[in-house]
Structure 1
């Protein structure tokens, strides 16, 4: 496992032990971030991640949020309910010296606390056995996490159909093996 682009490109991350955490592959991460580099999510609508605020729900290793920081995001918040996953996120953040621009919280989705901050990019990669992406998005919206024109990147098993509310539209979709990625745009 490594950072695939940006200022930390090539830096190794600590991988998870065992099968409890299923990180997004380096190849899939590269595909996701190539697509994001052409979306105006950053500060003042700049293309790519420059100045973007990122939320990594179901953070696991933290690789998605770390990749965003490496590519110019100004802040990343990491949510996971698993203590071992949160420890792994903290180790990977420390490995790259990113402690000053992150927030790490123990949160069980979809029970999110109200947020003072909204996010430009949100990564959702729940365990494949859980079919909760629509419920998670609804809770994020109700609790103030979605910035206007926020991009939500949802990873789920190929073959699963997402029921989307009217405030979300599909920007792009990609499949890679067992994984399907939907790039969703929030319109308030």
Structure 2
């Protein structure tokens, strides 16, 4: 697994042993960021704060940093995933632009920074995406009109909490990306 574009393009990322952590495939990550930054959304990551929830290896947040985001906040609670995440941040020499939070995404506490882009990759079919998103929004982790991307299994049902509008729904292999706008009726 590697960073696919930007400043750290080609940098190798480590993942914990076993199948408890399922990193987003390079091709799916490439398609996701192409959609975000050059396609449907034309999002400018320069100077943005990105929140990577259920971060695992940190591939999504680190990809955003490589493509110009100013800061990345990572929420993860698995010890093996946290070790890999910290190793990946150190490998990219990005410690000054990253904050790793070893907390439960469904009980995050008050927001430390409001993120313009939220990337969530919960375990497939866990049902954790929607309670985590609701709690993060309530606790102030999302900037007004934040763009939220949630990766689910391609056939997994979705039921976003109130205040989020579905903007797009795309499938890439086994992955499904839902693009949501925060602060919507």
**TM norm structure 1:** 0.92
Q: Match for residue 8 of structure 2?
A: 8
Q: Match for residue 146 of structure 2?
A: 150
Listed as ranges, the gaps of 5+ residues in structure 2 are none
* Deviation of 1:48 (Å): 2.1
**What do the CA deviations read for 1:31-63 (whole angstroms, capped 9, x no partner)?**
1111110436xxxxxx42111101111111011
| Aligned mates of 1:63, 1:8 — CA distance in 2 | 12
Three-state SS of the structure 1 residue aligned to 2:7 is: helix
Which residue of 156, 161, 168 maps to 2:157?
161
Q: Match for residue 21 of structure 2?
A: 21
| Aligned mates of 1:90, 1:138 — CA distance in 2 | 27
For the pair 1:106 / 2:87, whether they are aligned, the reply is no
Q: Match for residue 121 of structure 1?
A: 117
Number of residue equivalences: 182
* Deviation of 1:149 (Å): 1.4
Q: Which moved more, 1:72-81 or 1:47-56?
A: 47-56
For the pair 1:97 / 2:109, whether they are aligned, the reply is no
For the 8 Å contact 2:125–2:152, the answer to whether it is kept is: no
| Aligned mates of 1:58, 1:116 — CA distance in 2 | 17
* Deviation of 1:137 (Å): 0.9
* Deviation of 1:113 (Å): 1.2
| Aligned mates of 1:9, 1:98 — CA distance in 2 | 14
**TM norm structure 2:** 0.93
* Runs of 4+ in structure 1 over 2 Å off: none
Residue correspondence of structure 1 range 63-78 to structure 2 within 5 A: 63-78=59-74
Listed as ranges, the gaps of 5+ residues in structure 1 are 41-46
* Deviation of 1:109 (Å): 2.1
For the pair 1:136 / 2:146, whether they are aligned, the reply is no
* Deviation of 1:64 (Å): 0.5
* Deviation of 1:173 (Å): 1.4
| Aligned mates of 2:15, 2:95 — CA distance in 1 | 19
Three-state SS of the structure 2 residue aligned to 1:7 is: coil
For the 8 Å contact 2:166–2:180, the answer to whether it is kept is: yes
